[in-house]
Each structure stands twice: as structure tokens, then as C-alpha cells.
Amino acid sequence: MRKIALFLVGLLLFTSCKVSQEVISTITVKNTLNIDRNFETIEIDISGVAPKKVSDLVVLDADNKNVTSQIVDSDLDDKNDVILFQPSLKANQSKNYTIVVSKVEKTADTAYCYSRFVPERTDDYTWENNKVAFRTFGPVAQKMVEDGVKGGTLSSGIDAWLKRVEYPIINLWYKRNDEKLGAYHKDYGEGLDNFHVGVSRGVGGTAVKVDSSYHFSKNFTSYKTITTGPIRTGFVLTYATWDANGKQIEETKHISLDYGQNLSRFEIDVKGTETISTGLTLHKKKGVTNQNDANYWISHWETLDDSQIGTGIVTTKPYFSGSEKYITSKKDESNHFLHLNVVDNKVIFYSGFGWVKSKQFDNQQDWENYLIDFSKKINSPLIVTKN
């Protein structure tokens, strides 16, 4: 993701519909790769724009057509400071865009990228876009396990919800589950939750390796929802300080998921360790693992019920520190790990999945090709310049 600051200029633009529009800035977005690029989100800093004008900001392409955008208060200080949009670029192509203040009434966009805390199902936090969905577990679920109460979950693993429709399903599935307990474990044509997590890392849960053993946090202790919308959902999960064989680990996860992507972005603030690992569950240890050190990713491909699923984690060069397929007889603790360097108390990686029944991927090679392309893109981000 690339952020660029904008400065107000006193230029007026008149569109074909005769509505005056104050130009904030014009920018060029350049694709330096030999592959087409879609669904990559550009972040534009609008903190210098007068607050009374921010809500009327829109993005126009070179043909003066409105591009779907989303305004975000990224640091939760009650001031919107970023505008998001997703350009579509052919290989090695550049395109110009204009950020304007427009009084034209905006059409409401579907919040495909959605997340929320779910108190009616203990205390999950769940997120989705038009391709995939995920969830993880909160303190009430942890306490239930510790108190011996049925129905709890003690895990900081990331659960995969296998959706196969474009429209949002989180509220639909939880409502269905309220009416009939366990309903989201059955596929009614939209997908289902049949991906077992347990104490595994699921799809991108973290761990710290000390000697030959991996140590995990417990459930998240608090959350903050930052944004939901047509382009991105983002939130923050905080974890209690946890012990890794004498190391006291502090961990806060900033998680986001953008429209059109199969991988969530994890930006984790970490203290107490110089390296941290993120893993993919190996379930019954019958799947196929792969790793690509040149492109900084790991993957796992397996049969799940009557279909197949690929899971993967990708990072960038500064964070990459190797990988390990870890097999143990302990239930749910066999994982394929990507090792990460902690840089300035932070790691960044992307994790997610592709399900054959969603008709996005036909086989393991399709999935791994997706990871290869994804890696190329995040390691060579779109270049944004102000004109």
C-alpha cells in the first residue's frame, strides 16, 4: 500500500453535468510489473484537507468518471485522514486520477468489506469481503474453557469461513445459527464453516519459537473496529502479555481485508522477541505443503470434505526469515510456519485461502500462482506520484 500527501490547490473543474468541483490534487499511478493489476488499494492522505470538505471528496479517472472510494479515520482520532480507491492497470501501464470536492450526491456502495464483534456467538470477531471470510475468538470464549463451561474456545488461531457468494454472509450466518445452533456448519448454497482450528494457528495465527517448541497467546482481550465499506474493513485486536518459555510477549494485531483479495493483511506490533512465526494448520497432516523462499510465501493444499482448499501466507523481503513444516503428535499443533524478522517492533504479512467450491481456483497450481503474483505485487507496490 502506498500513501501520498495531498495539498489544496485553488483550481475549479467543471464536469459535463455542470457541477463545479474543487480539485484537491491530481496523481499518477504506475504499474512497473509485466502483469495486470486489480484490487490493489491506494491510500491517499487527506489529513491536510479542511474537515468540512472531506466528506464530499471523490476520485475521478482520466475520463472524469467517478471511481469507487472510501474515506477512513485510520487512527480513530475522529478525523478522516485517508481516502482509498482501487485502480485497474494493465502491465506497465500508468493512469491519472483526480481527487476533487464534489457536491454531487453519491450512490451508496455495498459494504462488501465488513467486520464486527459478535457477542451473540460468545464473543467472536469476524470479517469478510466478496471472496473470503474469517473469524477469531475473544475473552469470554476463553473463560468458558478455563471454567469448564461447554461451548467455549481457547485459541488465537484464525478460522476460515468458506463462502462462495459475492454478497456479505456474516450477519446471515450468525442469524441462521441463532435460529438453529450449528447452522453455519451446513452449506445452504453460500458456503459453510467446516474448517477446524482448535489450538492450531488456523490461517495466520502467530507463535514464538523457543528452542524446539512453539508458544502461543490466548484469545484477544479487546477490539476496535476502524472501518467497513466497499473497499476495506479494518480493526485492531489486543492480546494480554503472554509467556513464551520466559519471554514476555506483547502483541497487538492491526488487521485489514480489501475488496477482491483472498488474503488479509496483518500488521502486528510486537515486543519481547526478535522473531515471530505465523502458521497454517496441517489438520490431519495429509495435505501438501510448499514454500517459495524467492517470493517469501508458504502454502498448504488439502482435501476438505468433498472439495479442496489452499491456504497461504505471504510477506515481504525485510520480514522474511525462512519457514518450517512442524509435525507433532499433539492435537492441532502441527503447522506450516513462516518465520518473520521483527523490524522496529513490527511484522507485516498477508494470510488467507482459496476454496475450490468458490470457483476462484481449480487446483493447487492455480492457488500457488495466485500467491506468486500476490508476492510480486506487494514486493513491487504501485508507484503513486503527485502531479
All 3 cell numbers of residue 282? 496441517
Q: Sign of torsion, CA 18 19 22 26?
A: negative
State the DSSP code for 227. Answer: E
Answer whether residue 86 is part of any domain.
yes
Let me know whether 325 and 205 are in one domain.
yes
Q: Give the model confidence (pLDDT) of 161-211 as tens digits.
A: 999 999 999 999 999 999 999 999 999 999 999 999 999 999 999 999 999
- Name which of 11-15, 259-263, 344-348 the model is least confident about: 11-15
Of the residues 83, 105, 127, which one is the last residue of a structural domain?
105
Same domain, 34 and 153: no
When pLDDT is averaged across residues 123-148 and rounded to a whole number, the result is: 97
Q: In this structure, is residue 165 part of a structural domain?
A: yes
Phi-psi region of 174 (alpha: psi -120 to 50; beta: other; left: phi over 0): alpha
Residues 66 and 125 in one domain: no
User: Does residue 385 lie in a domain region?
Assistant: no
Residue 203 structural domain: 114-379
291-315 confidence digits (pLDDT tens): 999 999 999 999 999 999 999 999 9
Residues 97 and 143 in one domain: no
Residue 384: inside a domain:
no
Q: Does 191 lie in the same domain as 85?
A: no
Q: Among the three residues 105, 139, 165, which one is the final residue of a domain in this structure?
A: 105
Asked if residue 139 is part of any domain, the answer here is: yes
Same-domain check for residues 60 and 97: yes
Q: Which of these, 208, 286, 276, 234, lies nearest to 116 by C-alpha position?
A: 234
60 and 199 together in one domain: no
| 387, part of any domain | no
Q: Based on the domain organization, do 174 and 253 belong to the same domain?
A: yes
One domain, residues 95 and 163: no
Q: Is residue 90 domain-shared with residue 175, that is, in the same domain?
A: no
CATH for 165 = 2.70.98
Calculate mean pLDDT across residues 124-142.
97
pTM (predicted TM-score): 0.93
CATH number at residue 66: 2.60.40.1180
Residue 371 CB contacts under 8 Å (≥ 6 apart), including other chains: 292, 295, 297, 299, 312, 314
Do 80 and 133 share a domain, yes or no? no
Q: Residues in the chain, how many? A: 387
Indicate if the pLDDT at residue 387 is higher than 90: no
Residue 129: inside a domain, yes or no? yes
For residues 23 and 119, state if they share a domain. Answer: no
pLDDT digits 0-9 by tens, 220-272 = 999 999 999 999 999 999 999 999 999 999 999 999 999 999 999 999 999 99
Number of domains in the chain: 2
Confidence (pLDDT) at 65: 93
